[in-house]
Chains A and B, each alone.
Chain A
Amino acid sequence: MSDALKSAAERFLAQAREQEPTPAFSELRREGIAAFSEHGLPDTKQEEWRYTNVRPLAGIEWAALHEPLSPSRNAIEGVATPIFACGLEVFVDGHHHPELHGSPGASEVTALGTASAPPALLGQLADAKAHPFVALNGALASDGARVHVHGEDPRAVHLVFAQGSEDAASHPRVVIDADPGSRGTIILDHVSLAGARHFSNSVVEIEVAENASVDLIILQRAGDASFHVGHVAGRVERNGRLRTHTISLGGRFVRNDLAVVLAGEGAECRMNGLYLGRGAGLIDNHTWVDHAVPHCTSDELYKGVLAESSRGVFRGKVIVRPDAQKTDARQSNSNLLLSDKAEINTKPQLEIYADDVKCSHGATIGRLDAEAIFYLRSRGVAEDDARAMLTRGFAAEVLSSLPEPSLAEAMSALFVERLEAAEEAA
C-alpha cells in the first residue's frame, strides 16, 4: 500500500477511535476497526480494484465532524425529485433529520443512530473482511436506517442521503428485512445540496425472505465533485425476488458493489444498472451473484454511457456453486463511448461448478450506429438531436424497468440534462 493510502487509512481510523459509538453500532465499530486496520484502503494491485484507483479519494482530508446543516423540506424536494412522501426519511451529511420525515407507510423505518440495540441483520451480510469500504463503513457508521418490509404496501420508502458540507464524509448504514410474502419498494437516493465536494460510503444489507419481493432502487445523482462508494449485500430466500436498479448519473468517483446470494430454491434476482460518466469522472460497478442452490434465476443488464474523458469500469461475476443445478443466469453489459478520451474496462465473469445450467454473458462496446444516425438525418432530424435520441433510447431500456413511472421520468430527464451538459462541454 502506498503512503498516501496508508495515511488516509490512518486518518479514518483516528476518526473512528475518537467518536463514541451509539449502542446500535458498538459491535459493528469494533469489527470494522479491526478489519480496516488490517486491510486498509485497497490499491490497484488487488484484482477487485484493478481499474479503480482510490488515490483521488485518499488524497482528500475528509472531515468527520462538520457544521450541522438544516435544509428545508423544499430544498430536499428540489434535489430528490419526485419525493415519495410515504416513508420519507432524510439524512443530511450522514445524520438523520427526523423533522423532515414524511407520513409513515406500511414498511417500518427506524433510524439507527438513536436505536437502543442493533437490528438483527446488522453486519450479517456485508463482509468487512473482504471489502475494505465495508470495513470503513463499520468503523465510522453512526446513523442509518432499518427498513422492515411487511405486508404489501405499494408505496415506496424513500431514504434521502443528502450532503452539503464541503469535504464532509458520511458512512450511512441501511438494513432492510422483508418478511415472508411481503412486497416493498425502497429508494436510496444520494443527492448533493450544493455543489460541494463530499464523500458518502454507504452499506446496505438486505434480506428477502421466502416469497417476498423487493425492489431496491439506488440513485446516485449527486454533484460532479462528489465521491461515492456504495456496497449492497443481499440474500434471497426460497422463491423470493430481489430486483435492484442502480442508476449512477453523477460524481467524480463512484464505485458500486452489489453482491447477492441466492440462498433458497426458486430465488430470483434481477439487476439493472445505468451509468453515465462525464468530465473526468470514474464510474465503477461491481456485481456478484452467487447461485448457492439449484433452481435459481439471475438476470443482469448494465448499460453505460461514457462521455468526455470519463472512465467506466464494469465487473460482473456469476458463481454457480457445485450442485446448483438448473441455474439460469444471464448477464449483459453494453457500453457506449461518446468521446475519444472516454475509456471503458469491462470484465464479465462466469465461474461455474455445476453442469445442468444455462449461463451466458455478453459485453459490447461501441459508439452510436452511424447508419441509425444517417437514417434520422435523412428524415430531417439534426445530427445532435439524432445522437441524443439514440443515446436516450439506449438508456431507456434500463430506466423503463424502474417500478415507479414518475421516478423513471425524472431520472430520464436528469440523464438527458447531464448528457447535454457533457456534450456542450465537448
Chain B
Amino acid sequence: MSETIEELAAREYEYGFVTDIEEERIPKGLSEEIVRIISAKKDEPEWLLEWRLKAFKRFQQMLAEGHSPDWAKVSYPEIDFQDMYYYAAPKQKKQLESLDEVDPELLATYDKLGIPLLEQKRLAGVAVDAVFDSVSVATTYKAELEKKGILFGSFSEAVKDHPELVRKYLGSVVPYSDNFFAALNSAVFSDGSFAYIPKGVRCPMELSTYFRINAQETGQFERTLIVAEEGSYVSYLEGCTAPMRDENQLHAAVVELVALDDAEIKYSTVQNWYPGDKNGKGGIYNFVTKRGACRGKRSKISWTQVETGSAITWKYPSCILQGDDSVGEFYSVALTNNWQQADTGTKMIHIGKNTKSTIISKGISAGHGQQSYRGLVRIGPKAHGARNYSQCDSLLLGDQCGAHTFPYLEVKNASSTLEHEATTSKIGEDQLFYCRQRGISEEDAISMIVNGFCKEVLRELPMEFAVEAQALLGISLEGSVG
C-alpha cells in the first residue's frame, strides 16, 4: 500500500509549463498612475476610469486601516501589493481576424491543456473566450451566438461595444467597496468575460472560458459579468490551470451574475491552479469574490465548483435571493493536499418570499491540507416560506490535515425552514477492504470511494467538466492516502 502511495504522492503537477511569449508589461507596483495606465491601455471611457479610481481610493483606505480579511482560517505571509505587476498582455502584431493569426506557441499551450479553441477539436459546440494572462486573444462561435442576440466576449470589448450594459450592471452585485480584494480588483482589473443573454433566449451552447496565469509575478484580476434577461438560460463554464512557478501569485477575481424574472444561470468552475509543491512552496493565492443576484421572480442561480488547485483558496460564491420564488444553489467539492489551504463556502441571502436554497459542500483534506467550510444562510424578516437545506461533509485522509466547518444561520422569519448537517469522517477501512478483496487496487478503490463521496456535486457539472473533475480528483487525491 505504502509504495502506491509514495508513487502517487510523488506525482507532480501535470500542467506545469511556461509559454515563452513576448509580453507587454507596465512597471511593477500599484498607484493611481498605474490605474490610469491600465485604463488608458484599454482605451476605456471616462466613467470607467473614475470608477476604477474610486475603487483604488477605497482599497488604499482599507489597506491603511488594515482591513485585509483576517477572519478566514488561512495563513500566508503579508502580500506586498507594490511588488507585483498589474498588467501583462501578450504582444500582438495586429488585430486578429482568424485563429491562424494567433501566435502558434499560444495555440500550442492551449493544445496541451486540451482547450477546444480550434473548431475541429473534440468538444465542438463550446464557444471559448480564452483569457491568456490578461487579454482575450481569440473567440470562437461568436457569430452563431450573435445570431441569437447573445453577447459573449471579453470584458474590454464589451466596454467598447456595449458600454450602456456594462455601466448598468458593473458593480451592481459586487460594489467596488464590497471587500478588500473586490476593491483591488475593481481598481486594476485587466480583462475578463462578459455575457448577455437577451429576453427569452436559451443559450444553445455552454459558454466557456479558460483563465491561465502565465507571466511570472503577474497578479491576474479578471472581472466577469453575466446578465440573463427575463426567461433566458445560460450555462457558463470556467476552468483554470496554471504553469508551475515558485513565487506565490495573487489572483483576485470578481464574478457578478444577474438573473432577471424566470432567468437561470448555471456557473460551473473547475479550478486547478498550481497548488505549490509538496513542501508548500509556491502556488496561487486565489482570493475571489463571486456573487449572483436573483433579481427577478422565479430566477435561479446555481454555482458548482470543483476546487483542487491553489495554495490558498478564499472564495464564497453567493446568491442574493431577491425575487420571490427564486432559487439559489451551491455545489462544491474542495480538495486540499500537501500544504494547501482552503476557506470556502457560500452565502445564501433570502430576501424574497418562498425563496429556496440548497448547499452541498464536500471537503476532502489530505497531507497537511487545511480546509474550512464557511457559509452563511440569512433569512430576512420578509422571506416568508423560505427554505434552506445545507449539507457539509468532510473526508479526512491522513492524520496531519484538518477539516473545519463554520456555518452561520441567521433567521428572522418564523415561517422559514432550515436544516444544516455536517459530518466529518475518514475513508472506511472496511470499504477499502471490501474493494481490495474483490481485486480492485487500492488506488482505484480510493478513487471510487472519493468519487462516490463527491457524486452529488459532480453530477451537477456539465459532462465535459465532470470528466475533467473526476480525473483531477483522481490525480490530486489518491497520492496522499495513508
Contact = CB atoms under 8 A, between A and B. Distances in A.
Contact of A354 (B399, B412, B417): B399
A344 B411 contact: yes
Contact of B416 (A322, A361, A363, A365): A365
Interface in A336-372: 337-340, 342-367
Contact of B400 (A322, A347, A359): A322
Contact of B406 (A51, A345, A347, A362): A347
Interface string A37-60: 000000000010001000000000
A38 B195 CA distance: 54
B407 A348 contact: yes
B403 A348 contact: no
A220 interface: no
Contacts of B381: 340
A285 interface: no
B414 A351 contact: no
B68 interface: no
Of the listed residues B398, B414, B419, the one surrounded by the most CB atoms of chain A closer than 10 A to its CB is B414
A355 B394 CA distance: 10
The A interface is mostly helix, strand or loop, or mixed, namely strand
A342 B426 CA distance: 39
B405 interface: yes
B420 A348 contact: yes
A355 B399 contact: yes
A179 interface: no
Given A344-B411, A355-B396, A361 B401 contact: no
Nearest to B371: A352
Interface in B384-438: 394, 396-426
Contact of B424 (A345, A360, A364): A360
Contacts of A170: none
A347 B419 contact: no
Contacts of A335: 411
B76 interface: no
Nearest to B417: A366
A364 B418 contact: yes
A325 interface: yes
Contacts of B424: 350, 352, 357-360
* Interface size range of chain A in the complex: 35 or more
Contacts of B396: 352, 354-355, 357
Interface string B426-462: 1000000000000000000000000000000000000
Interface in A229-272: none
A279 to B, nearest CB: 16
Given A357-B425, A365-B417, A367-B414, A325 B409 contact: no
A345 B421 contact: no
Interface string B47-70: 000000000000000000000000
Given A337-B414, A367-B414, A348 B422 contact: yes
B410 A345 contact: yes
A51 B376 CA distance: 14
Contacts of B423: 359-360
Nearest to A307: B414
Given A359-B423, A362-B419, A362-B421, A349 B405 contact: yes
B404 A351 contact: yes
Contact of A367 (B402, B415, B426): B415
Contact of B394 (A352, A356, A364): A352
A323 interface: yes
B411 A364 contact: no
Contact of A345 (B394, B408, B426): B408
A337 B400 CA distance: 41
Nearest to B422: A361
B411 A352 contact: no
B399 A322 contact: yes
Contacts of B416: 337, 365-366
A411 B397 CA distance: 46
A352 B426 CA distance: 12
Nearest to A50: B408
Contacts of A348: 405, 407, 420, 422
A362 B420 contact: yes
Contacts of A343: 410-412
A353 B402 contact: yes
Interface in A308-354: 322-323, 325, 335, 337-340, 342-354
With a 10 A CB-CB cut-off, give which of A339, A352, A356, A361 has the most chain B CB atoms. Answer: A352
Nearest to B402: A353
Contact of B426 (A323, A344, A357): A357
A384 to B, nearest CB: 17
B260 to A, nearest CB: 29
Contact of A350 (B399, B404, B408, B418): B404
A362 B422 contact: yes
Contact of A325 (B397, B399, B413, B415): B399
Nearest to A327: B424
Nearest to A314: B409
Given A344-B409, A344-B411, A367-B414, A352 B399 contact: no
Given A47-B71, A355-B398, A366-B417, A350 B422 contact: yes
Nearest to B400: A322
A206 B419 CA distance: 34
B347 to A, nearest CB: 13
Nearest to A313: B410
Contacts of A353: 401-402
A289 B413 CA distance: 30
Nearest to A354: B399
Given A347-B409, A349-B406, A357-B396, A363 B418 contact: yes
10 residue pairs, one from A and one from B, having the closest CB atoms: A355-B396, A337-B414, A365-B418, A359-B424, A363-B420, A350-B405, A366-B417, A360-B423, A353-B402, A355-B426
Interface of A: 47, 51, 322-323, 325, 335, 337-340, 342-367
10 contacts: A345-B408, A347-B408, A352-B402, A353-B401, A358-B424, A360-B421, A361-B422, A367-B414, A367-B415, A367-B417
Given A323-B399, A363-B418, 7 more contacts: A340-B415, A347-B409, A348-B405, A352-B424, A356-B426, A362-B421, A364-B419
